[in-house]
Amino acid sequence: MKTHTFWFFQLLAVVCIFAVGSIPMVYADAHEAGEEMAAEETSSASGWFRTDTDSLGTQIWVGASHSPSFLGGLSLDTDIYVVGTFGELDVGLGIPVVDSDSLSLSFLPMVGIGFDYAAPNGPSSLIAPQLFTYLTAGSIYFESWIQGFFNSPFDYGDDSIYTRNFLLLSLNDTLSVGPQVEVTLDLTNGGLGSMAPGLRANVAYGENNTLGVFVGFETQKEDEDTGITGRMTFVRTW
């Protein structure tokens, strides 16, 4: 009986030693698994930075797209837009329709709220509805913006619908060119507020960098204006 008791305690001691020794290993495995999961979460997000200079001044944009598994292939997209003392926050849902080597089509409906921080007077603008369309077909790229701006409920200005559309043909790995048109409909006073057709060029500025130049003609210009207008854009993605 004493012999069995002795071996029992010996066996118990060995089990305890292995159990204690395995704790760091289990912790390490769990830590590595956590790091892998964090890496997967990190890799599922993409971001972008953008600056525009046009009739509104120099504007700053920063945005990101998150693709968590529970959205089932959709993405949660957010961005902020800043010009002067005005700041805007947009939230939307990316909807991929086609995604292949030869064809890619996606839609991004969004809603936004804007604040003019020059005065502590709450929201200034409702930017909705918004719909962005992105199409890539071989060497052809098409992008469309449709945005509603409702400022009158906040006594911030007129209401309008704005659209920007351009179609680019990639000539090589560096240069893409094509037509672009921008239209603003004045919902408060009625009629056409602005229409500027023109040409656009996108130039690759190193990896993940693009410089865009748009030169257009404003058809709703004042008599003393030449009508020449446009925009310079820089975009970096990661």
pLDDT in tens, 25-62: 434 454 555 555 544 444 579 999 999 999 999 999 99
3-class state of residue 200 by DSSP: strand
> What is the reported pLDDT for 44?
77
DSSP state of 35: H
Exposure string over 131-166, b if 16+ CB within 10 A, otherwise e: ebbbbbeeeebebeebbbbbbeebebeebbbbebeb
Q: What is the mean pLDDT of residues 194-209?
A: 97
Q: Is 200:169 a contact under the CB 8 Å cutoff?
A: no
Q: Residue 56: CB partners within 8 Å, gap ≥ 6?
A: 83
> What is the reported pLDDT for 3?
44
Is the overall model pTM greater than 0.85, yes or no?
A: no
Q: What is the mean pLDDT of residues 159-172?
A: 98
> What is the reported pLDDT for 31?
52
pLDDT in tens, 99-153: 999 999 999 999 999 999 999 999 999 999 999 999 999 999 999 999 999 999 9
Residue 21's alpha-carbon distances to 5, 13, 26, 27, 68, in angstroms, are 24, 12, 9, 11, 36
3-class state of residue 95 by DSSP: strand
CA 212 to chain centre: 17
> What is the reported pLDDT for 34?
54
